[in-house]
Amino acid sequence: MNGETPLISVKGLSVHFGLGRKLFGEQKVVRAVENISLDIPKGSFFGLVGESGSGKTTFGRAILQAAPITKGTIAYNDGEVDYDVASLGKLDLKDYRKRAQLIFQDPYAALSPRMTVRDIIAEPLEVMGLTASRKETDRRVREMAAKCRLNLEHLRRFPHAFSGGQRQRISIARALVCQPKFLVADESVAALDVSIQADILNLLKSLTEELGITFLFISHDLSVVAHICDHVAVMYLGRLVETAPTRELFAAPRHPYTKALLSAIPSLDPDNRGQAQKLEGEIPSPTNPPPGCKFQTRCPHAIDICRTEEPMLSQLGVEHDVACHRWEELFEDQAPSIVSAQVPEARPVSEPVSEPVPKPKPEPAPAAEEEPMAPEVLANELARMRRKNRIAIAVSIFALLALPFACAM
């Protein structure tokens, strides 16, 4: 992209998992990721979106060699080293761990409850041997804690004493303390409140600009992706269906699945409510994917070729790719409707514009003023109400006193 060597270049990546063992017949295979190719440029905030079960997390872990790679290549090139991640030895893998880190999704389960915050952040430095003394370790821990907006007094506490947002900042500090070049953020703000999400996202964005880190941001919240990412890739059932710069993808999506995802973003405009495209059915099982296009079981535009032939990624521009047989005709059909919906029809100048004059509504008649009640009448009415209340109270007391005798009989 842009003529530069990408930091991560993935070619034909597939990740399969076997299900159990069988004495007879073929073993079932979960095709979590299937034949994905994409490039992640240096210094970018790259978004990866899709439904739950589409293979986003498995793809991110495969790039870190934390998931078994069945087929394909993953090239890492930061200008200092050039690694083929799929075939790293032990020593090279240890060095790669310093350069590529992971921010976990759940900040509550990612931190050891028996370790202080200082020990949690210092653990990567001690395990990888990146510091020569405890004094140097403490200095780097304090520096990273300050960058992640953690107070020095927090370093002596245990994780249970912190809120969700503070725990996520601890996880970010632990991932950044070894000064990586590449970070995979796996749903790192999904479990947080909206206000805390904004704080964490702004922190990640500032760290990207300050430290020059490249992010792979995995999420299913498209509003968050639109706010923070430079480039977006869309996954469905382990396949890549569309990838483009963020502005271009949100302005003119080509794949029907991408359009359905974008239509589901909540809107404050009352005219746009209830216009989300509903996809019938659930995402198919990765153990038994449908033939042809994997989205054809839920796509409202599927035809015969979609059910027999799997589409390949087609390059639309310099950075925009889509995998759909009918994207051209669907986009042409959609474009006039979008324009007509946004631009009102102009009237000829020669025709006078005559607006119907509304008839004046008759004014309602003023309500008749009630005459004030005379003092004698008011006193008599109050006395009558008091008598009724006394009678009701007497009847209630009599019923309560008679209840034990009625029960005895």
271 within 8 A of 341, measured Cβ to Cβ: no
pLDDT band at 347 (very low <50, low <70, confident <90, very high): very low
Domain regions of the chain by residue span: 258-265+276-337
Distance CA 60, CA 33 (A): 10
Q: Which of 78, 86, 174 is CA-nearest to residue 130?
A: 174
The answer, yes or no, to whether residue 144 has pLDDT greater than 80, is yes
Give the C-alpha separation, 401 to 409, whole Å. 14
List the beta strands (DSSP E) in 89-187. Answer: 100-103, 182-186
Which pLDDT band holds residue 379 (cuts at 50, 70, 90)?
A: low
* Res 24: pLDDT: 67
Residue 258's nearest CA partner among 244, 268, 270 is 244
Average of per-residue pLDDT across 247-268: 86
The answer to whether 84 and 27 are in contact (CB under 8 A) is: no
Query: Picking from 111-120, 217-226, 384-393, which range would have the lowest pLDDT averaged per residue?
Result: 384-393
Provide the 8-state DSSP code for 194.
H
CA distance 17 to 307: 25
- Indicate if the alpha-carbon torsion angle 129, 135, 139, 141 is positive or negative: positive
Determine the pLDDT at residue 344: 32
- The C-alpha torsion from 288 through 292 and 295 to 301, rounded to 10°, is -150
Q: What is the pLDDT of residues 48-90, one digit of tens each?
A: 999 888 899 999 999 999 999 999 999 999 889 999 998 898 8
For 331-345, the DSSP string reads HHHHHHHHHHHHSPP
Dihedral-angle region of residue 154 (phi above 0 means left; psi in -120 to 50 means alpha; beta otherwise): alpha
